[in-house]
Structure 1
C-alpha cells in the first residue's frame, strides 16, 4: 500500500493521471530488482530518450525562429543530456520512488546521476505510452520549464567542450579509455581516462561509461584551463 501511495503521489508531482499505473511502476523499476514478472525500465528509457528529443527539437524551433542549426544543436544537447534529466529527476523526487535492489540501495543508487537520468527518460516513455505524444509533451514542457528559454546558446557538454578546445589548438580529438570496472554487473563503476595529444590526462569514475567520460572531460578541461591561467 505504501509503494502504491508513493507512486500515485509521484504521478501527481509530474502532473499526469495514469490510466495504466503499471507503466509508471515499470518506469521506476531498476534492473537490480527486476524479474520475469517485474520488467525493468531499460526499454522505456530507450523510447523516452527519443520522445524527449523530438519535444525539445520542436520547442527550440518555436522559442527562437531565427536560430541557425549551429546555434540550436548545443542548446538541444544541453537540454536532453543525462545530467539535465537527472537534475529534473531530483527536483521531482524521482530517486525516492525508484525501485532498487538491496545492493543498489546500499551503494547510493537513489542519488546516482545515471540512474536518475535513465529513470526520467523512462517516466517520459510511460506517459507517452499511457496517453500519447501530446500528454508526454505537456509533461516535458512543464518539468523543463524556463530551461528551454534560458539555455545558453553556447551550452556544451564537457566532452564537446574538450574536443573543441583540442581542435582550436590543432590537436586531434581526445582519447577515452576504460581503465577499470568494479562492482557487480547490475551496479558497475567505470573508471575512464581521457588523454590529449599534448599528454595531459584526467580520470573519473561513474556508474556509466558516458557519465565517467563526461566527468573525466570536465576534470581535464578544468586542469588545462588552470594551467593556462
Structure 2
C-alpha cells in the first residue's frame, strides 16, 4: 500500500496520549481510534470511519435511552422522546466533538482540509459517533458510556420546559401569532451513504421566513428545523442543550 495522502494531521501512529485522556480510555488497539478519525477523502489511508460511525450512533442511542429511562422514572414516552431526539441529533454530536477537540485530530484529504472539513458539523458529528463506536469495540459498553456520561451529563439533566417538542411548540406559536395554517415541512436534500443518511428539511410558516434543519431521519430533521425557527424568532433561547 502506498503512503496515505492527507493533510498532515494525526498520523496512523502519532501521539494519541492527549486525545485518549480526553476520551477517558486507553486503547488496547490504537488503530481503532485512528480509523475512527479517518475521513473518506484520505487516499490510501485504509479503512475510514463509516462502519464505526454506524455502530457509534446505535451505542449513543442505547446509552442515552438507558440514562433517560433511569433519570426520569415518572416521565412518559411523550416527554422522553423529544429529550432523546435532542440528545442524539447530529448537531449535539458536533458540539461534543468541538468540546473534545476532535477536529484537529481528524485525518482529511488535502481538498477536504482546505475547504474547512475540520469545522463542518456533518464531519464532526460523524467522527464523534465513530469514536464512540471505537470505544465500544475496544473497551465495551462501559468505555463508551464513560465518554457519553462525561460529555452528555449536563445535557441529560437540562430543564424539562426547554425540551418541549419543537414541532408542537412551533405550531402553538404560529397559531398564537394569528397564522391559521399548520407549519409545512418539506425535504430539500438527502445526502450521505444509505446506512447513515443526512436529511435536510425546510419548515414554512405563513408570513415567516423559512428555516431548515438536518438530522439522520426526516423526523429528527423536522424537529431541528422547527427548533431553528423558534430560536431565530426568539420564542426559544438559543442556549446549548
TM-score between both structures, scaled by the size of structure 1:
0.76
Instruction: Measure how far apart 1:93 and its partner are.
Output: 0.6
Alignment of 1:214-225 (within 5 A): 217-221=226-230
CA contact (8 A) 1:60 1:148 kept: yes
SS of residue in 1 equivalent to 2:74: coil
More helix by share: 1
SS of residue in 2 equivalent to 1:29:
coil
Number of the residue aligned with 1:67: 75
Q: Hey, what's the Cα distance between the residues in 2 that align with 1:180 and 1:23?
A: 29
Alignment of 1:76 with 2:84, yes or no, is: yes
Aligned equivalent of 1:29: 38
1:61–1:34 distance in 2 versus 1, CA, 3 Å: farther
- Matching residue of 1:165: 170
- Partner residue in 2 for 1:118: 126
Q: Distance in 1 between matches of 2:57 and 2:127?
A: 10
Give yes or no for contact 1:34–1:40 (8 Å, CA) kept in 2.
no
Shift of 1:164: 4.5
Q: Distance in 2 between matches of 1:87 and 1:111?
A: 10
**Which residue matches 2:239?**
none
Q: How far is 1:128 from its partner?
A: 0.5
Cα root mean square deviation, aligned: 3.5
Q: Distance in 2 between matches of 1:120 and 1:144?
A: 12
Deviation at residue 217 of structure 1 after TM alignment: 4.2
Would the alpha carbon gap of residues 204 and 165 (structure 1) be closer, same or farther in structure 2, given more than 3 Å must change?
closer
Return closer, same or farther for 1:77/1:9 CA change in 2, 3 Å cut-off.
Answer: same
Match of 1:185 in 2: none
Q: How many residues align?
A: 213
Matches within 5 A, 1:124-139: 124-139=132-147
The answer to whether the 8 A contact 2:102-2:124 is kept is: yes
In structure 2, runs of 5+ residues without a counterpart are 1-8, 192-198, 236-241
Asked if 1:9 is matched to 2:18, the reply is yes
Q: Structure 1 stretches of 5 or more lacking a match?
A: 182-189
1: distance between equivalents of 2:77 and 2:222? 26
CA contact (8 A) 1:193 1:204 kept: yes
Call closer, same or farther: CA 1:21–1:212 in 2, change over 3 Å.
same
- The farther-off stretch of 72-81 and 140-149 is 140-149
